[in-house]
Amino acid sequence: MKPLRRIQFFFIALLIAACSSAPGGVGEIFATDTPLPTARAGVTPAPDEEAAVTAFFDALRNDDYEVMYAMLAQASRAELTLEDFSKRWNDALNTMSVSGFDVSILSSTISPFNGEVKYNITYKTVLAGDISREIVMRLVNEENNWKIVWDDALILPELAGGNLLAMEYDIPARGDIYDREGLPVATQSDAFAFGIQTDQIDNEMVGALTSELGRLCGFDPLGIQDLIDSSGPGWYLPMCEGTREEAQRLLSISPGGLVVQEYSSRYYFRGGLAPQAVGYTLAISPEQLNQYRRLGYSGSERIGQDGIEQWAEDYLAGKHGGVLRVVSPTGQIISTLGQSAPEPADSVYLTIDSNLQFHAQAAVEFFRGAIVVMEVDTGRILAMASGPDYDPNIFDANNPNNIALNSLLNDARTPLLNRAAQGQLPLGSVFKIITFSAALESGLYLANTEYDCQYEFTELSDQVRYDWTWQHCQDRVAAGKFCNTTDSTPSGLITLQEGLMRSCNPYFWHIGNDLYTNWNRGNDIANMARAFGLGSPTGIQQIPEAAGQIIDPASQVDAVNVAIGQGTVLVTPLQVARFMAAIANGGTLYRPQIVEKIQPVEGDPLLVFKPEAQGTLPLRQENLDILREALLMVVENPKGTARFNFLGLQFKVAGKTGTAESGSGKPHGWFAGYTMNEANTDLPDIAIVAVGENIGEGSEYGVPFFRAIVEAYYYGSPQRQYYDFGQIGYPPYTPTPPSSGVIP
């Protein structure tokens, strides 16, 4: 028995004894014919009152107001609905910015029918500090269960009588995002939304309208004209946004039909640099409101919803300040419970190079694809482009061009997906680097091990498989493109290095089948792929990424498919960039990173980029040298699959083409490689991976994308503009079939 209970029963016993023995006392009265009162039917000593109080606050920790409400006394529930009860608790916790609380029971006093429990509750708040109160909770015994008599003072004593809590917020401006050189990527700014009102166009100025908007927005003027022509009169066509400085020329010309509307917002420069990686902000949704109110937000802020904006929310939001007050039902201030001062937000500096990022985005803008650029010796991401991209400015409801948001969200090309880190594709012939490495490390193949590479591969009985040279020229001529006869004949007797240079499918099918069938080394290629970092996240941390997929082959068919990067193989461009950088730097796999530093307004950076080695490629030095030599042959040898579109490039590069069957439509076109010019330039060497989805061959698309980035890196912009598919940064065109389609 608890001490308080002992005292209660001790005094009851004394009272009964005294009354029984006193002359004419209670004992004499009860000695009449009147029967003694009996205990109420069904009333027994109630269960532990402390357990009931503990259960009540356990439910509060889980925001389970329904369970809490069920613990109230019948009379309390008759006067208070579940909705009102839940709102009182939720509003109080949100207004206080409660991140958690502690409860301890101090004492209790009970009888069979009612009781009181005294407890201490300490609310841990983000904006007002710790708020601690001693409160008495009244209980009643209903059907042998303790039920709580509700009073608003059970939240805080100050709320008795209908008083309320009010928080006066002090919200710092959101922090900025910059590139590696300090050029702005995202900031709070006054901006202009530009559009076209089709019934106000001045036909004499329409050329200036489309050309100037094209320059500002990064659009093809002909595309703008086509949009105007296909729209009816009286339409508003949203274009893009810009600051006054960016739009100075357009504003000074002000051609007829141009609509300019000023607004203030989170502004993303150049229509959004690396938008899938940087992300965007949105107003706090009703589903998010409780979470952010408990973190000290008022609910009116915009928060990061994707990418760096989301990852760095704690830095970019700054520390909110506030004054927590008790006010009367009429709004008069009664008292102040606590307060805190705001602290300015931090700025995020990315590893991204704005100019390189701009040209990478331009290269894949009209395709579904991705480009990743990484320093080979550090893991810094210099560019991460995903096409098609999007304008993050239109997520702001204050932006008049926000009317384009539904079209973006319903775009079948899924522009919000970061294909560079989340796109999972078969790697095609770039995967032959893995098979090549597994063959060398097995000891069963040497650099000069020969194989007769013909059109057909017949080692498996299920079907005849054909080399890429089998129908290459026929397909190119049918598409109106030229074809070198070298690419239409079998490669013949070639070494392992030449097999990689020529991307001979039969040779690599043979390796996959040979290891699986003859040497009990069926998992060698899959194990090598995993050691190169495929099939698991890179660990970039600052943006979402996919893991890809590498599965051990279960049959000969699986083995030969995996050997050329098909079948169950799925990779992300970021994973490929990481292992290409490792090949270039001598074998070290670095963690990719996209944040250079977190810089407060004053003082030293809170976070600074540091290269982080995660492992090494499982290649002996002599085999790594053999691999690197073969990758150089792909680019420089006249028979190399990438040679043609690298003609005239002034910088030394190495890499591998890849054409991956997609299962539907055209194949995915890959090129993955690296520069080899560190001794001849102040710029560090970089690994570049480019892929276009359902686009065509890697030599036709991946190589031009790669070359454009190399030239932008060293010269500031792509130098060679035209390829088979058209001009870099413009929509592809269908060429006219030539009179003679074959180059001897």
- The per-residue pLDDT of the chain, averaged, comes to 90
Question: In the numeric block, which tokens belong to residue 593?
Answer: 């990173």
Is the pLDDT at 476 greater than 70? The verdict is: no
Q: What is the 3-state secondary structure (H, E, C) of 214-276?
A: HHHHCCCHHHHHHHHHHCCCCCEEEEEEECCCCCHHHHHHCCCCEEEEEEEEEEEHHHCCCHH
Is the pLDDT at 560 greater than 70? The verdict is: yes
Is the pLDDT at 292 greater than 50? The verdict is: yes
Whole-structure pTM over 0.95, yes or no? no
For the segment 528-544, the average pLDDT, to the nearest whole number, is: 97
Q: Is the torsion defined by CA of 148, 151, 155, 157 positive or negative?
A: negative
Residue 646 host element (H or E): helix 643-646
Residue 3: the pLDDT is 42
To the nearest 10°, report the CA torsion of 474, 479, 483, 489. -20
The distance of Cα 604 from the centroid of its chain, to the nearest Å, equals 28
Which amino acid is present at 36? L
Reduced to 3 states (helix: H, G, I; strand: E, B; else coil), residue 191 is strand
Is the pLDDT at 311 greater than 60? The verdict is: yes
Residue 664: the pLDDT is 84
Q: Which of 582, 501, 574, 498 is nearest to 538 (CA)?
A: 574
For the segment 446-455, the average pLDDT, to the nearest whole number, is: 96
Residues 207, 220: Cα–Cα separation, whole Å: 12
Which amino acid is present at 96? M
pLDDT band at 481 (very low <50, low <70, confident <90, very high): low
Is the pLDDT at 742 greater than 90? The verdict is: no
Q: Which residues pair with 696 in a beta bridge?
A: none
Is the pLDDT at 423 greater than 80? The verdict is: yes
| Number of residues assigned to the chain | 744
CB contact at 8 A, 659 and 428: yes
Within a 10 A sphere around the Cβ of 70, how many other Cβ atoms?
Answer: 12
pLDDT band at 733 (very low <50, low <70, confident <90, very high): confident
pLDDT band at 13 (very low <50, low <70, confident <90, very high): very low
Which amino acid is present at 443? G
For the segment 65-87, the average pLDDT, to the nearest whole number, is: 96
For the segment 451-469, the average pLDDT, to the nearest whole number, is: 94
Residue 479: the pLDDT is 66
Is the pLDDT at 18 greater than 70? The verdict is: no
Q: What Å distances lie between residue 674 and 121, 517, 631, 636, CA to CA?
A: 62, 35, 10, 14
* pLDDT tens per residue across span 23-63: 444 333 333 343 433 434 445 555 688 999 999 999 999 99
Residues 712, 567: Cα–Cα separation, whole Å: 35
* pLDDT tens per residue across span 371-413: 999 999 999 999 999 999 999 999 999 999 999 999 999 999 9
Pairing of strands 347-350, 177-178: parallel
Residue 679: the pLDDT is 63
Query: Could you identify the residue written with the tokens 């950076």?
Result: 605
Q: Is 716 left (phi over 0), alpha (psi -120 to 50) or beta?
A: left
The distance of Cα 675 from the centroid of its chain, to the nearest Å, equals 29
* pLDDT tens per residue across span 240-264: 999 888 888 888 988 999 999 999 9
Residues 66, 59: Cα–Cα separation, whole Å: 9
Residue 82: the pLDDT is 97
pLDDT band at 606 (very low <50, low <70, confident <90, very high): very high
Is the pLDDT at 740 greater than 60? The verdict is: no
Weakest-pLDDT range from 75-84, 209-218, 467-476: 467-476
Is the pLDDT at 190 greater than 70? The verdict is: yes
Reduced to 3 states (helix: H, G, I; strand: E, B; else coil), residue 318 is coil
* pLDDT tens per residue across span 627-676: 999 999 999 999 999 999 999 999 999 999 999 998 888 999 999 999 99
pLDDT band at 535 (very low <50, low <70, confident <90, very high): very high
CB contact at 8 A, 258 and 207: no
Residue 725: the pLDDT is 83
* Crossing angle between the packed helical segments 432-442 and 505-517, to the nearest 10 degrees: 50
Query: Could you identify the residue written with the tokens 């202009």?
Result: 192
Within 8 A by CB and 6+ apart from 368, the residues are: 387, 388, 413, 419, 692, 693, 694, 695
Residue 736: the pLDDT is 53
Is the pLDDT at 743 greater than 80? The verdict is: no
